[in-house]
Chains A and B, each alone.
Chain A
């Protein structure tokens, strides 16, 4: 059974810092990995999707890497802003077209 873990569970940083969020998964037989953002009480917004054959994806200040063999992914956020405050979730897609999520990292960026 796939298990996804995210570390840290919560993170508070001053504005402008570069930061790294970590995601690990137990079964490397995945099709892709997605990073999502969730604002309080809201749905999920897809940030980046990395196919199993890819090593990284970039979008603006966000960069996500994938090491499938070791079961790890990182989300790098450059020059953090207060508007980046949210919960960040990673999820892996398996053969059943089913997403398995981690518990999320709650990020607070202080002005």
Chain B
């Protein structure tokens, strides 16, 4: 039973560029959330997707956008990259309809902005 998988594992970009990160949820899960974790801090919620729609959004600018596909996988897009976007980006999945279930995390994508 595959868990949450994320790709790529590492990325190096320069300021102003755009990046796309990918996530496949755990088998049977239909809800995907994205989190940003700066070095030495706890993860911060970016947004959540269910039924291909953004359901919740944290305090992030609209440079951060996402998408969910019919197979429940998801992408996180970040435009006009800033040095402060350097972080570990984590994807988590769960079941929407069962509420109160644990969220399962992938190993993350380490994004470095030069």
Query: Are A and B co-members of a single complex?
Result: yes
Binding site for B on A (CB under 8 A): 4, 6, 31-32, 34, 36, 41-46, 49, 51, 89, 91, 93, 96-104
Residue pairs across A and B with Cβ atoms less than 8 A apart, 8 shown, are A42-B108, A43-B106, A44-B105, A96-B56, A97-B94, A98-B56, A99-B103, A100-B45
12 other A-B residue contacts (CB within 8 Å) besides A34-B102, A44-B43, A44-B92? A36-B105, A42-B107, A42-B108, A46-B103, A49-B102, A51-B100, A91-B43, A96-B48, A96-B56, A97-B96, A103-B41, A103-B42
5 nearest interchain CB pairs?
A101-B42, A43-B107, A44-B105, A31-B100, A96-B56
- Does the CB pair B90–A44 fall under 8 Å? yes
- Within 8 Å CB of A93, what residues of B? 100, 103
Docked CA distance A51–B98 (Å): 13
Chain B at the A interface: mostly helix, strand, loop or mixed? strand
Number of cross-chain contacts by CB at 8 Å: 69
How far does the Cβ of B6 sit from chain A's closest Cβ, in whole Å? 8
> B31 on the interface (CB 8 Å rule)?
yes
Interface string of B91-114 (1 = CB under 8 A from A): 010101001101111111010000
- Within 8 Å CB of A89, what residues of B? 42-43
How far does the Cβ of B109 sit from chain A's closest Cβ, in whole Å? 10
- Does the CB pair B96–A46 fall under 8 Å? no
- Does the CB pair B102–A102 fall under 8 Å? no
> B44 on the interface (CB 8 Å rule)?
yes
> B73 on the interface (CB 8 Å rule)?
no
How far does the Cβ of B34 sit from chain A's closest Cβ, in whole Å? 11
Query: Which residues of chain B from 29 to 63 have any CB-CB distance to chain A below 8 Å in the complex?
Result: 31, 33, 35, 41-45, 48, 55-56, 58
Docked CA distance A32–B103 (Å): 11
Interface string of B1-24 (1 = CB under 8 A from A): 000101000000000000000000
